[in-house]
């Protein structure tokens, strides 16, 4: 029995003939050889060139030294200038003199009006402790000045004593003169007069209302055109001063005695009112000195 042959299956895909592949193989081999030959020739050429010697590494044979800082150059005229010739680049402006602050008692609103008014100040006269009487002065004035100087009541009192002294001096320190009206006068003041105006300590009950009594009396002895109280002391002159121009033992000195008693034995709460009264009496006496 004759065996049957297997069927031949033909490949329909495109195939490269074997002879073609075998023909190209030598061409690829020869190309590689040519490349290798060219590379070898280039290497031989490079080996034939002289090689450059490598530069040796330089190491410094010295250590750098930092340069010292130099002072800025100064011009010849500046260098030779003495220190005391140097002038500042700004001008010194002197500070204005400040007025001394008034004591707390003088900050009372009742004093604002009369503190701003012109009056004869103690600075225009010698200190009130240095006031001296002439050798022929009468005893009443010696005792009066000694009493007024014994009151260490501050600057306002010192100024008033000086002005009162000048008022009495203008009238020759005479003892007798027209009396100041005694109506509405404080009762404690009458006791001081009865004790010869010395070594007198009034009853505390009489001093309890001394502030009100004084302002009532002080307003009473003013000229008709002037009305004053603890809250108002006008400074405008609208007439003459005949009603109060009374020197001597029973004149203006009685007002001084009233202020002396008030400050010595009066209530501390009335100190502001007392200061206002002192300044107002000072102003009135200053007007009498200008007449």
> Mean pLDDT over all residues of the chain?
76
pLDDT band at 276 (very low <50, low <70, confident <90, very high): very high
What lies within 8 Å, CB to CB, of 126 at 6+ separation is 162
Say which residue the tokens 């680049």 belong to.
89
Q: What percent of the chain has pLDDT over 90?
A: 45
pLDDT of residue 291: 76
Q: Tens digits of per-residue pLDDT, 8-53?
A: 445 444 444 544 444 444 444 566 677 677 677 766 665 665 556 6
Are residues 105 and 271 in contact, defined by beta-carbon separation less than 8 angstroms? yes
Asked if residue 78 belongs to a domain, the reply is: no
pLDDT band at 198 (very low <50, low <70, confident <90, very high): confident
pLDDT of residue 37: 76
Asked if residue 125 belongs to a domain, the reply is: yes
Q: Of 288, 273, 278, 200, which is closest to residue 240 (Cα–Cα)?
A: 288
Asked if residue 179 belongs to a domain, the reply is: yes
The phi and psi torsions of 121 (rounded to 5 degrees) equal -95, 155
The phi and psi torsions of 10 (rounded to 5 degrees) equal -90, 135
Asked if residue 87 belongs to a domain, the reply is: no
Asked if residue 218 belongs to a domain, the reply is: yes
159 is in which domain, residue-wise? 108-290
pLDDT of residue 285: 96
How many distinct structural domains can be found in the chain?
Answer: 1
Are residues 116 and 278 in contact, defined by beta-carbon separation less than 8 angstroms? no
pLDDT of residue 226: 96
Asked if residue 15 belongs to a domain, the reply is: no
Q: Tens digits of per-residue pLDDT, 40-94?
A: 776 666 566 555 666 666 665 656 677 777 766 655 555 455 455 445 555 666 6
pLDDT of residue 199: 82
Q: Tens digits of per-residue pLDDT, 121-171?
A: 444 455 778 898 999 999 999 999 999 999 889 999 999 999 999 999 999
Cα–Cα distance between 78 and 199 in angstroms, integer?
Answer: 79
Average of per-residue pLDDT across 252-268: 94
Asked if residue 20 belongs to a domain, the reply is: no
Asked if residue 227 belongs to a domain, the reply is: yes
């Amino acid at each position: 029995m004759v065996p049957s042959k297997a069927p031949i299956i033909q490949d329909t895909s495109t195939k490269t003939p074997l002879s073609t592949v075998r023909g190209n193989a030598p061409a690829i081999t020869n190309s590689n050889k040519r490349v290798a030959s060219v590379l070898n020739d280039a290497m031989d050429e490079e080996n034939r060139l002289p090689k450059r010697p490598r530069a040796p590494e330089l190491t410094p044979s010295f250590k750098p030294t930092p340069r010292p800082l130099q002072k800025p150059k100064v011009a010849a005229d500046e260098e030779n200038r003495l220190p005391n010739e140097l002038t500042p680049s700004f001008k010194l402006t002197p500070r204005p003199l400040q007025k001394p602050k008034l004591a707390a008692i003088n900050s009372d609103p009742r004093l604002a009006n009369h503190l701003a008014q012109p009056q004869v100040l103690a600075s225009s006269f010698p200190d009130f402790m240095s006031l001296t009487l002439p050798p022929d002065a009468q005893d009443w004035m010696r005792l009066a000045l000694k009493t007024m100087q014994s009151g260490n009541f501050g600057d306002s009192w010192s100024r008033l004593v000086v002005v009162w002294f000048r008022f009495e001096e203008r009238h020759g320190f005479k003892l007798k003169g027209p009396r100041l009206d005694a109506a509405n006068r404080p009762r404690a003041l009458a006791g001081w007069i009865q004790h010869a105006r010395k070594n007198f300590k009034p009853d505390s009950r009489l001093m309890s209302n001394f502030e009100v009594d004084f302002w009532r009396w002080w307003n009473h002895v003013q000229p008709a055109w002037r009305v004053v109280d603890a809250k108002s002391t006008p400074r405008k002159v609208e007439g003459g001063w005949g009603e109060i121009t009374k020197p001597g033992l029973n004149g203006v000195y009685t007002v001084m005695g009233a202020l002396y008693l008030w400050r010595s034995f009066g209530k501390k709460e009335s100190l502001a009112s007392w200061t206002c009264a002192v300044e107002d009496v000072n102003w009135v006496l200053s007007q009498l000195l200008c007449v």
